Amino acid sequence: MKFFIDTADVQEIRDLASTGLVDGVTTNPTLIAKSGRKILDVIAEICDMIPGPISAEVAATDFETMLAEGRKLAALRSNVAVKVPLTPGGLKVCKALSDDGVKVNVTLCFSANQAILAAKAGASFISPFVGRLDDIGQDGMELIGDIVAIYNEYPAFKTEVLAASIRHPIHVTDAARLGAHVVTMPPAVLRQMYQHPLTDKGLAAFMADWAKTGQSIL
């Protein structure tokens, strides 16, 4: 499974990249707004830090402008994955860009039918929003399982399932169990994955026993 980080905070990305665990980054207009910086500058800087796919989302909603924005974003760096909404216009942009060899991340997916359309349009990634489905009383992970199962039936589909709107580490575990290719998560969730009280307790015991020896490795 690949880990993407869902943020436009370059300091967070730089810190987490040093772990070797980060395979890519996803951004969106909300995250760019939080950064307080220009989108082209932010995306270029992130692309230079992380060699994997960096999702940069178009801001328009009509086909012509989305396509123009997508081409401009794709021209920034070779590892940009243009992010488009799962709308008729967005899927037309997906088809046009993917035909040109550009990676496309189709976002705001909430049904298996939508995921099928994205795969047929040539999407590199489909982003089902797990947490937002949970918020309205549906099982977001059920959608992940459905999409993975459908894609597995059709080898011609090359679209990777990117579990998005991740709220906690259990979402990551469940997505991995269901066969999602990628999980994109906020930095805080990745850091939570390290944590377990028995790890802390065991380490404290080891350190206490080591202190009793009076030794030093260095």
Chain segment 198-210, per-residue pLDDT in tens: 999 999 999 999 9
Let me know if residue 218 belongs to a domain.
Answer: no
The pLDDT value recorded for residue 156 is 96
Let me know if residue 127 belongs to a domain.
Answer: yes
The pLDDT value recorded for residue 28 is 96
| Residue in 2, 38, 83, 158 annotated catalytic | 83
User: Rounded to whole angstroms, how far apart are CA atoms 209 and 114?
Assistant: 57
Domain range for residue 71? 2-213
The answer to whether 70 and 92 are in contact (CB under 8 A) is no
The pLDDT value recorded for residue 9 is 97
Query: Of 157, 168, 218, which Cα lies nearest the Cα of 192?
Result: 168
Let me know if residue 92 belongs to a domain.
Answer: yes
What phi and psi, each to the nearest 5 degrees, are found at residue 64?
-60, -45
The pLDDT value recorded for residue 163 is 98
User: Rounded to whole angstroms, how far apart are CA atoms 61 and 77?
Assistant: 23
- Give the residue ranges of the chain where pLDDT is below 70: none
Let me know if residue 48 belongs to a domain.
Answer: yes
The pLDDT value recorded for residue 148 is 98
Residue type, 85: P
Handedness of CA 67, 73, 74, 80 (dihedral sign): negative
Chain segment 157-198, per-residue pLDDT in tens: 999 999 999 999 999 999 999 999 999 999 999 999 999 999
Known active-site residue 83? yes
The answer to whether 125 and 182 are in contact (CB under 8 A) is yes
- What is the domain-level CATH number for residue 41? 3.20.20.70
Let me know if residue 9 belongs to a domain.
Answer: yes
Let me know if residue 116 belongs to a domain.
Answer: yes
Token pair 């690949």: residue: 2
The pLDDT value recorded for residue 194 is 96
% of the chain with per-residue pLDDT over 90: 100
Q: How many domains does the chain have?
A: 1
